[in-house]
Structure 1
């Protein structure tokens, strides 16, 4: 069966969508899955063995451009897709499969998409509390899956990186020393309210450097300053063991270098989901956002959160915009969780 997926536009959502692709392939090993998503997603999609082809969505996030979507859909008719899955909930995201005349078009109801989708599912949020459950459920007939309890074990996201790639990319960033790497992902898409304070990251970095580790700071261009804030608070003899590569890597290089890390400490962010999909020992730090909806999908992940519920907050309490619930998470607690994860990971490697 030839399948088109209209994919999400965020790193974390794209990672969780892999559970749908894995479900489709598990149910039909001969399925060919093409995913249409923003071009920046390609490095992630190329590392998902279930995906046959990544198709670039040329339209910007939020743009309707009805005529262009119609042209895109008509151009896809030659591919003779048998089914489409539309993962975003917007009206416009369902237009391309409709114009492509794909016989079966599956998705949650979202923004009143009657007619555009003909395998339309009505979402009971309480029945499917996790985003990954909502994605995976679309891979089964609607009558078969009424709630998350009906789902077979979900196939979690899993990215593929080989040792040759790791060696090459580490060399290109001069990360060839003897110190094992610990990755920090101190950024967050919606600003400082979702970030663990930079001064806490600096304290944790100092502890880990003292213990013999090399710290690598990941993120986009806009996270580079946060990385420098961390480095400036380190003791002078520790700074050389904390490398800020936020904004200096491609997404693919970041994936490879995260795979090279012994463990990762991250805010609730897209790179947190990448680390989980690479099965890295991971400490995930949550504040106002909730792990009850988008937790890291890994048995090697530990979540630290001091409040409950979801809080729609864009700016925190402190002058720097941090949220008090994240300020209250102490570096010593994170260090302790990280040590336990590293011991457990080492035992797993040794077969204990």
Structure 2
């Protein structure tokens, strides 16, 4: 069976989509899975052994470009796909499989996609509260999938494969050493400071760990570089040599490979949080206005810290420097205690 997946456009969503691919392969080991996604996703998808091919989606997020979508569909028509599974909920994301005339086109109904999808499901958000459940449900006949309770348990969580040679090469390319155990921190967040744990809390936690013999690598995109610099500037001078700001200095594939060589992570709710979970790191996930009730870290080695309930759609927090008070209230000691508990559990398991 040959399956085309129209993949999501965000790092975290792309990582979580691996649960679908793993489930499809578990159901049909001979299945061939191709994923159409933005080309920047290739480093993530290349570390998913279930994916046979990555097809670059040349159209930017939000753009229609109907003619180009028609052209892509016509080109794919010759490939002989048996099924397409469309993960984004937009109407335009379902156009390419329709133009390709793929016999079975599966997805949640989303933006009124009658006709574009001929195997559509009407979403009951209460029945499928987690995004990963909504993804995995598409691997099964819709008559079976009345709620998340019908999904096989346990769910197959994302598991990115990184070989040690790739991690070592990334370390060498960036002049990094692993003479100390390494903590990954991901202090950025897509929508600004309201979803970030304050930089001074990161600095306080990091300082204690460096005092105990750790080193710290800061991960993020170029726009996260300033907050990384703020964290380092807030450290005692003698600790700064053991904290490296990699934000904006790595390609995505390097970030994945380097993170896989770390011992643990402390992270905001972000795409890199899902990468840390998928490479198997014990992690402390810090939530404020956003909620872990929809996209929690998919790992059995996580501690989620959150002091409020519900979801708050805010772009700027009510606390100092735009931070949200609920994240300010999570103290460095709370995060360190959660990390200690994770690492103690890991030691007992081994």
- Is the pair's TM-score, using the shorter chain for normalization, greater than 0.5? yes
In 1, Cα distance between the equivalents of 2:117 and 2:297?
30
* Residue equivalent to 1:317: 318
Moved over 6 A (4+): none
CA distance in 2, matches of 1:298, 1:20: 15
Match of 2:190 in 1: 189
**Equivalent residue of 1:237, what SS?**
helix
- Structure 2 partner of 1:293: 294
Partner of 1:89: 89
Partners of 1:342 and 1:174 lie apart in 2 by 27
Give the Cα–Cα distance (whole angstroms) in 2 for the partners of residues 49 and 241 of structure 1. 34
Task: State whether residues 144 and 150 of structure 1, in contact with CA within 8 Å, keep that contact through their aligned partners in structure 2.
Answer: yes
TM-score normalised by structure 1 residue count: 0.98
Q: Say whether residues 1:130 and 2:123 are aligned partners.
A: no
What SS does the corresponding residue of 2:123 show, helix, strand or coil? coil
In 2, Cα distance between equivalents of 1:21 and 1:222: 31
Deviation at 1:346, TM superposition (A): 2.8
Deviation by residue 1:138-186 (Cα, 9 ceiling, x = unmatched): 0000001100011102111110011122222222222224211000000
Stretches of structure 2 lacking an aligned partner (at least 5 in a row): none
Aligned partners of 1:173 and 1:68: how far apart in 2?
Answer: 39
| CA distance in 2: counterparts of 1:177 and 1:136, whole angstroms | 37
Contact 1:87-1:107 at 8 Å conserved across structures:
yes
CA RMSD after TM alignment = 0.8
**1:44-193 equivalent positions in 2, closer than 5 A:** 44-153=44-153, 154-193=155-194
Residue 305 in structure 1 maps to residue 306 in structure 2:
yes
Structure 2 length normalisation: TM-score? 0.98
Q: CA deviation at 1:338?
A: 0.8
Give SS of 2:205's match: helix
Q: Tell me the SS of whatever aligns to 2:17.
A: helix
CA distance in 1, matches of 2:345, 2:135: 31
Gaps of 5+ in 1: none
- Residue 235, structure 1, aligned to residue 236, structure 2: yes
Q: Give 1:61 shift.
A: 0.3
- Match for residue 4 of structure 1? 4
| Alignment partners' CA distance in 1, 2:167 and 2:68 | 40
* Match of residue 25 from structure 1: 25
Give me the whole-angstrom Cα distance separating, in 2, the residues matched to 1:195 and 1:334: 14
Give the match's secondary structure for 1:345. helix
* Larger mean Cα displacement after TM superposition, 337-346 or 199-208: 337-346
Distance in 1 separating the partners of 2:94 and 2:169: 41
Task: For residues 6-64 of structure 1, give each alpha carbon's deviation from its aligned partner in whole angstroms, at most 9, with x where no partner exists.
Answer: 00000010011111111111111110000000000000000001000011100000000
Q: Secondary structure at the match of 1:288?
A: coil
Separation in 2, partners of 1:246, 1:116: 40
Q: Encode CA deviations 1:88-129: one digit per residue, 9 max, x unaligned.
A: 000000000000000000000000000000001000000000
- Contact 1:262 1:342 (C-alpha < 8 Å) held by counterparts: no
Q: Displacement, 1:347?
A: 3.1
